[in-house]
């Protein structure tokens, strides 16, 4: 009987240690920073497919006017947006108030960039910090309609997801997005919010 009790206690302790180790895999630490590029594995794709974009997309202008933006035919400050995964691509469909429309397409890349950093803005330094997080995906830019003028060789499209949490990440950690067009013919970006799915 004593041997059975000892075995049971050992099993319980081993189980507790395993749960603790699993929990610590998600732990964040003060001063933490990680900025890496890695293979876009299936688990990341599954989380990306759960993203839901709010219907408003804003063109970043700063102090400029829409007509100064190169690469968009008759640019507008705000657009109605529909975004969805289709056959390994994210298609962003934009339409402005004058019904001018176009799409920007990001093909699923082979790699993903992951940024996690302690912003050092929490007053209680004894607690695990909430990390600022970004996921970045970049591919050759493709599109139609009002965006066609800014496409061509050297143009890339980058989706940046922004959010926070610990070292384990799910789609619901992300609250905002940016879509960045970059290259010799066009440099502009859109931004907006994500909808919680759980």
pLDDT value, residue 46 = 93
With contact defined as beta carbons under 8 Å apart, do 28 and 131 qualify? yes
Nearest alpha-carbon partner for 190 in 167, 160, 165: 160
The total number of residues written for the chain in this structure: 198
pLDDT value, residue 8 = 46
Report the C-alpha gap between 63 and 42 in whole angstroms: 41
Number of other CB atoms surrounding residue 147 within 10 Å: 26
Give the global pTM.
Answer: 0.84
Which range among 8-17, 27-36, 41-50, 96-105 has the greatest average pLDDT? 96-105
Can you say how many angstroms the Cα of residue 145 is from the centroid of all Cα atoms in its chain?
25
- Percentage of the chain lying above the pLDDT 90 cut: 70
The predicted-structure confidence for 80-137, as pLDDT tens digits, reads as follows: 999 998 889 999 999 999 999 999 999 999 999 999 999 888 776 667 888 999 999 9
Residue 193: phi, psi to the nearest 5? -115, 160
């Amino acid at each position: 009987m004593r041997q059975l009790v000892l075995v049971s206690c050992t099993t319980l302790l081993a189980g507790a240690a395993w749960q603790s180790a699993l929990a610590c895999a998600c732990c964040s630490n003060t001063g933490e920073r990680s900025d890496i590029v890695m293979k876009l594995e299936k688990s990341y794709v599954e989380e990306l497919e759960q993203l839901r974009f709010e219907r408003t997309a804003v063109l970043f202008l700063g102090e400029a006017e829409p007509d100064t933006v190169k690469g968009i035919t008759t640019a507008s400050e705000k657009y109605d947006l529909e975004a969805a995964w289709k056959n390994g691509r994210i298609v962003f469909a934009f339409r402005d108030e004058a019904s001018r429309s176009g799409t920007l397409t990001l093909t699923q890349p082979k790699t993903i960039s992951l940024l996690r950093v302690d912003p050092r803005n929490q007053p209680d330094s004894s607690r695990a910090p909430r990390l600022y997080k970004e996921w970045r995906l970049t591919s050759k830019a493709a599109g139609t309609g009002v965006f066609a003028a800014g496409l061509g060789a050297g143009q890339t499209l980058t989706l940046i997801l922004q959010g926070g949490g610990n070292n384990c990440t799910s789609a619901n950690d992300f609250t905002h997005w940016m879509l960045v067009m970059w290259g010799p013919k066009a440099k502009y970006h859109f931004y907006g919010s994500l909808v919680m799915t759980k």
